Structure 1
Amino acid sequence: MTGRTGRGCRVAAALLTAVACGPAPARAAAPPPSAERVFGVVTWAASADRMGEGTAGRGYRLIVHLSVGGTGLRVRVTNAFGDRPLTLDSGYAGLRGRGAALRPGSNRRLTFGGARTLTVPAGAVAWSDPVPGTWPAGTDLAVSLHTPDAAGPATGHWMALQTSYTAHGEHTAEDGARNWAGTTGSWWYLDAVSVRPSRAGTGAVAVLGDSLTDGRQSTPDRDRRWPDDLARRLNTSRTHIKGVADEGLSGNKVLADDAGPSALDRLHRDVLSQPGVRTVFLFEGVNDLKAHTGVTAAELIAGYRKIARRVHGAGKCLVVATVGPFKGWPEWDTAAESVRQEVNRFLRTGRDFDAVTDFDRVLRSPDDPERIRPAYDGGDHLHPGDRGMRALADAVDLDDLDCTR
Structure 2
Amino acid sequence: MIEAHNRTATGWRGMIAASSTALVVVLAPAAVPDTADATAGGSTVGGNTHPVVTWGASADRTDATMSDKTVRNIVHTSVTGSDLRVSLSNAFGTVPVTFDSVYVGDASDGSASVTGNRRVTFSEKSSITVPPGAEVLSDPLPGRIPAESTLAVSVHTSGDPGTVTGHNVANQTSYIATGGDHAADLAGDAYDATTSHWYWVDGLVVEEPLQVETVALFGDSITDGNGSTAGANHRWPDYLARRMTSRPRPKQFGVMNEGISGNKVLADGSGVSAQARFDRDVLAQPGIDTVVILEGINDIRHETATEPEDLTAAYRQLIRRAHANGVCVVGATMTPWAGGSLYSEERNRLRIEVNHWIRTSGQFDSVIDFDKGTRDPDNPKRFLPAYDSGDHLHPGDEGYQAMADTVRLRQLDCNR
Same fold (TM over 0.5): yes
Could you report, residue by residue, the CA deviation over 1:160-182 in whole angstroms, capped at 9, with x for unpaired residues?
Answer: 01111111211111211111232
Deviation at 1:200, TM superposition (A): 4.0
Question: Which amino acid in 2 is paired with 1:188?
Answer: Y
Question: Residue 112 of structure 2 corresponds to which residue in structure 1?
Answer: 100
1:156 to 166, 170, 175: 166
Deviation of 1:351 after TM superposition, in Å, equals 1.7
Instruction: Please tell me whether the aligned partners of residues 55 and 149 of structure 1 are also in contact (alpha carbons under 8 angstroms).
Output: no
Does structure 2 conserve the Cα–Cα contact (< 8 Å) formed by 1:42 and 1:243? yes
Match of 2:72 in 1: 61
Amino acid at match of 2:276: D
1:132 and 1:270 mapped to 2: Cα distance?
26
Of residues 179-188 and 299-308 in structure 1, the stretch that sits farther from structure 2 once superposed is 179-188
Structure 1 position 297 matched with structure 2 position 287 = no
- The superposition leaves residues 299-353 of structure 1 with CA deviations (integer Å, 9 ceiling, x where unpaired) of 1000111110011111110111111111111311122111111111111111211
Question: 352, 370, 376: which is aligned to 1:359?
Answer: 370
Distance 1:50 1:383 in 2: 23
Name the aligned partner's letter for residue 290 of structure 1.
Answer: R
Greater CA drift, 114-123 or 287-296: 287-296
Q: Output the amino acid matched with 1:17.
A: R
Gaps of 5+ in 1: 4-11, 22-31
Corresponding residue for residue 220 of structure 2? 210
Q: Which amino acid aligns with 2:247?
A: S
* Cα shift at 1:125: 0.5
Give 3-state SS (helix, strand or coil) of 1:111's partner. coil
Supply the distance in 2 between the matched residues of 1:36 and 1:237 (Cα, whole angstroms): 26
Out of 7, 32, 40, the residue aligned to residue 17 of structure 1 is 7
The aligned counterpart of 1:347 is 358
Cα distance in 1 for residues equivalent to 2:211 and 2:18: 11
Shift of 1:17: 2.6
1:307 aligns with 2:297: no
Quote the residue 1:142 is aligned against: 152
- 1:5-404 matches, within 5 Å, as 12-13=4-5, 16-17=6-7, 37=18, 40-98=51-109, 99-103=111-115, 106-167=116-177, 168-197=179-208, 199-238=209-248, 240-404=251-415
Contact 2:205 2:286 in 1 (8 A): yes
Deviation at 1:368?
1.3
User: Are the aligned partners of 1:83 and 1:153 in contact in 2 as well (CA < 8 Å)?
Assistant: yes
2:305–2:311 contact (8 Å) kept in structure 1: no
Q: 340-349 vs 214-223, which deviates more?
A: 340-349
Identify the residue that residue 31 of structure 2 maps to in structure 1: none
Could you tell me how far 1:53 is from its partner in structure 2? 4.0
Residues 294 and 336, structure 1, Cα contact 8 Å, conserved in 2:
no
CA distance in 2 between counterparts of 1:211 and 1:395 reads 18
CA contact (8 A) 2:332 2:367 kept: yes
SS in 1 for 2:73: strand
**Unpaired runs of 5+ in structure 2?**
20-49
Task: Return the TM-score normalized by structure 2.
Answer: 0.88
CA RMSD of aligned residues (A): 1.8
Identical counterparts, % of pairs: 46
User: Counterpart in 2 of 1:6?
Assistant: none
Aligned partner of 1:344: which letter?
N
Distance 2:297 2:104 in 1: 37
The 1:36/1:361 distance shift into structure 2, 3 A limit, reads: farther
- Alpha-carbon distance in 2 for matches of 1:118, 1:33: 18
* Paired residue type of 1:48: A
The answer (yes or no) to whether the contact 1:205–1:241 under 8 Å persists in 2 is: no
Asked whether the equivalents of residues 213 and 246 of structure 1 are also in contact (C-alpha less than 8 Å), the reply is yes
TM-score normalised by the chain length of structure 1: 0.90
User: Does structure 2 conserve the Cα–Cα contact (< 8 Å) formed by 1:89 and 1:116?
Assistant: yes
Distance in 2 (alpha carbons) for counterparts of 1:191 and 1:83? 18
Residue 59 of structure 1: CA displacement? Answer: 0.3
Distance 1:356 1:17, change over 3 A: same
Cα distance change of structure 1 residues 337 and 357 upon mapping to structure 2, 3 Å threshold = same
> What's the CA shift for 1:213?
0.4
